[in-house]
């Protein structure tokens, strides 16, 4: 078994482009690709590229990478994608204030525009988008893709949560599985 690791910082678009370029030049093929959660409540709400941080880190870089891998795969080579999502994606499109999905195309850019602080909404929208990506990828011939919810797994994804919200989540701590 060969494991290749390519470092890509999804919060820096030039790193995404360089990583994808490295993959393309190396002619590597991939059997399984895991798009991990990325970020939640990032310290800065927009990247140096001016994109909402959760959207760029959790979705856009993954979309670009998936597109490149599909375009450069050998004929008849199957790829399996695992997209780490969250049940929070279900909140998108609900009647929660500010979470209703736009019906007109022009409103989408503003809907995903960086706010003063990335929060639950930005994270949920990124999980909604990554779930849609899995659905789209699964429709491509020679591709299987799933969106998975890590469930009750205690990770450091919540490290930037406001202290008050972290205290609230400690109620659930005993039911969580600790990882790393």
Q: Domain containing 88: what range?
A: 13-149
Tally the domains of the chain: 2
| Residue 67 lies inside a defined structural domain of this protein | yes
| Residue 119 lies inside a defined structural domain of this protein | yes
Question: Do 81 and 160 lie in a common domain?
Answer: no
| Residue 8 lies inside a defined structural domain of this protein | no
Long-range CB pairs of 131-137, under 8 A, 24+ apart, other chains included: 131/83, 131/85, 131/89, 133/35, 133/59, 133/62, 133/63, 133/66, 133/83, 134/81, 134/83, 134/85, 137/66, 137/81, 137/83
Question: Do 30 and 48 lie in a common domain?
Answer: yes
Q: Are strands 153-154 and 143-148 parallel, antiparallel or unpaired?
A: unpaired
Question: Do 20 and 101 lie in a common domain?
Answer: yes
pLDDT tens across the length of the chain (180 residues): 777 778 899 999 999 999 999 999 988 888 999 998 678 888 888 899 988 888 899 999 999 999 999 999 999 999 999 999 887 767 776 666 666 777 777 777 677 776 766 677 788 888 888 999 999 999 999 999 999 987 665 566 666 666 766 665 555 555 444 544
Question: Do 67 and 128 lie in a common domain?
Answer: yes
pTM (2 d.p.):
0.77
């Amino acid at each position: 078994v060969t494991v290749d690791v390519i470092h890509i910082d999804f919060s820096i678009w030039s790193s995404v482009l360089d990583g994808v370029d490295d993959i393309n030049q190396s002619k590597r093929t991939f059997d399984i690709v895991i798009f991990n959660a990325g970020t939640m409540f990032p310290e800065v709400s927009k990247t140096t590229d001016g994109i909402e941080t959760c959207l760029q880190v959790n979705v856009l870089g993954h979309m670009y990478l998936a597109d490149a891998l599909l375009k450069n795969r050998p004929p008849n080579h199957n790829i399996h994608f695992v997209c780490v999502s969250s049940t929070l994606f279900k909140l998108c499109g609900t009647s929660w204030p500010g979470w209703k999905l736009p019906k007109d195309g022009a409103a989408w850019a503003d809907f995903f525009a960086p706010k003063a602080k990335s929060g639950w909404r930005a994270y949920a929208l990124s999980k909604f988008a990554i779930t849609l990506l899995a659905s789209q990828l699964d429709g491509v011939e020679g591709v299987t893709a799933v969106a998975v919810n890590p469930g009750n797994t205690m990770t450091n994804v919540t490290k930037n949560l406001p202290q008050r919200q972290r205290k609230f989540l400690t109620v659930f701590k005993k039911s969580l599985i600790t990882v790393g």
